[in-house]
Amino acid sequence: GYSTEGRSIRALGIGNPGCGNLMLILGRQHPPELTGYKAMKAFGFSFFDDSLSSVRQFKEENYIVWIPTVNPDGVANGHWRHNASGVDLNRDWADFKQVETRVIRDAVDSLINEFSDRRLRLVIDFHSTWSDIYYVVPGGADSLVLPMIQRSNERCGTQAHINVRPEGEAPVTAMAYFNRKYGAETLTYEVADTTAEHIYKWKSNAAATALMEIMNSRP
């Protein structure tokens, strides 16, 4: 679809578009959060290494929809947290007054309704903040998200450990919406502005690798 100012909101499909398992990756709801954006790229690029049998299996059994720039107008205009209408898009997932959130909502609805057995299993939204944090929905991250975090933290060690926190009472965020509507496990992946690039790329790759291992071992 298109943004308020008519810029394309692009999506990249990875994996098997005919399967029942759907995963959504979002980025740059807030334009200047570049460490989160780069971490998202490292995470997503992990799914392209077809030399690994684990990656090939994962892509046979899952369809990943990656929307790297939710707020293209904000990026183009150098906004801090807002779109062209002056609205923080990550606070519009209850009212859907902005075209950008409606475009993504409708696209996901269409994908879910494409097959009777399709389900949205996981949504990850990448951001930047003061420290490296995983925000999870309490009681809604037990099957995939928390095991992924635990396994990736074990691999990275204490120097790259990421804290886990409950998202709290925020019904207007993307994570709250997708968890509430579809029962999807959701994760807000926050990267500190001061974290070294090689560290957050390493951690993102470790998280993606852990996720693929976990999902490959389950029906």
Q: What is the pLDDT along the chain (219 residues), one digit of tens a residue?
A: 999 999 999 999 999 999 999 999 999 999 999 999 999 999 999 999 999 999 999 999 999 999 999 999 999 999 999 999 999 999 999 999 999 999 999 999 999 999 999 999 999 999 999 999 999 987 666 789 999 998 998 888 766 667 888 876 668 999 999 999 999 999 999 999 999 999 999 999 999 999 999 999 986
- Supply the pTM of this predicted model: 0.94
Where on the phi/psi map is residue 183: left (φ > 0), alpha (ψ -120 to 50), or beta? left
Tokens of 93: 């997932």
Q: How far is CA 120 from CA 36, 53, 79, 123, in A?
A: 22, 24, 31, 8
| Token pair 């790297």 in the structure block, residue | 68
**Parallel, antiparallel or unpaired: strands 133-136 and 63-67:** unpaired
Contact in structure between 148 and 211 (CB atoms under 8 Å): yes
CA atoms within a 13 Å half-sphere pointing along the CA-CB vector of 143? 12
Measured on CA atoms in the order 176, 178, 182, 186, is the torsion positive or negative? negative
